[in-house]
Structure 1
Amino acid sequence: MKFKITIEYCTLCQWTPRAVWMTQELLYTFHQQVSEVSLIPTDGGVFKISVNDQLVWDRKESGFPEPKAVKQKIRDVVEPDRSLGHSDR
C-alpha cells in the first residue's frame, strides 16, 4: 500500500530548505511506498510531518527532527517490521 507524507513548515521562519531536505531524505528511503509528498507552506513556527493524515512529528513538541528519527516514526506507522538498515542503529 502506498502512503502520503505531508510536511507543513513555516515560511516566515525560512524553513523551506529544511522541508525540502526532509522530503529528499524521505523519498530516498521510502520511494517505493510513497504515492505523494506534499509541502504545505504556512506560518506560526510550524514544522509538522504527517503520514496519511496521522501526525508523526511536531517541532513544538519534539524540536527539529533528524531524518533518522522521522524515518523510524514513519516506518513504525506504515511498515513496522521493515529494517531501515543503518538508520536503525
Structure 2
Amino acid sequence: MKVTIHYCTGCNWLLRAGWYAQELLSTFGESLEQVALAPSHGGHFEVVIEADGESEALWERKRDGGFPEIKELKRRVRDRLDPQRDLGHLDRQTP
C-alpha cells in the first residue's frame, strides 16, 4: 500500500506534508510500502492511498475543509491498511 501526499509548493506546505509523512511512517512503518511527497500548485493538498491498483483520496483540503488532524489521518490509513489494528490512545475517547 502506497500513500502520496500532494502539497502546494507556492503555499509553502512542504513542512506540513513532511510531518504527515513522518507521522504515518512512525505509526505504520513497514506496513506501508511507500509514503511519497508530490509537489503541486494552486492550493492543492491531498492525501491519496493506492492499493491493488486502485487509488482513493483519503483527504482533500478543499473537499474536507482544511487540513486533517493527524489522529484522523492515521485512522483513515489504518481503516484501509488493517482495520483491526489498535492505534492505542488514538482509538480511545477522551472525557
Q: TM-score, normalised by structure 1?
A: 0.93
User: Using the alignment, how far apart are the partners of 1:66 and 1:30 within structure 2?
Assistant: 17
| Residue matched to 1:46 | 44
> How big is each residue's C-alpha offset from its partner over 1:46-82, in whole Å with a ceiling of 9 and x where there is no partner?
1100111211111111211111000000111111111
Of 51, 61, 64 in structure 1, the residue corresponding to residue 63 of structure 2 is: 61
State the 1:37 CA deviation. Answer: 1.0
| Residue matched to 1:76 | 79
Q: Number of residue pairs matched?
A: 87
Structure 1 unmatched ranges of 5 or more: none
| Residue matched to 2:5 | 7
Structure 2 unmatched ranges of 5 or more: none
Residue 2 of structure 2 aligns to a residue whose secondary structure is strand
Of 29, 34, 41 in structure 1, the residue corresponding to residue 32 of structure 2 is: 34
User: Using the alignment, how far apart are the partners of 1:86 and 1:32 within structure 2?
Assistant: 21
Letter paired with 1:55: A
Root-mean-square deviation (CA), in Å? 0.8
> How big is each residue's C-alpha offset from its partner over 1:8-52, in whole Å with a ceiling of 9 and x where there is no partner?
000100000000000000000010201111100000111100111
Q: TM-score, normalised by structure 2?
A: 0.87
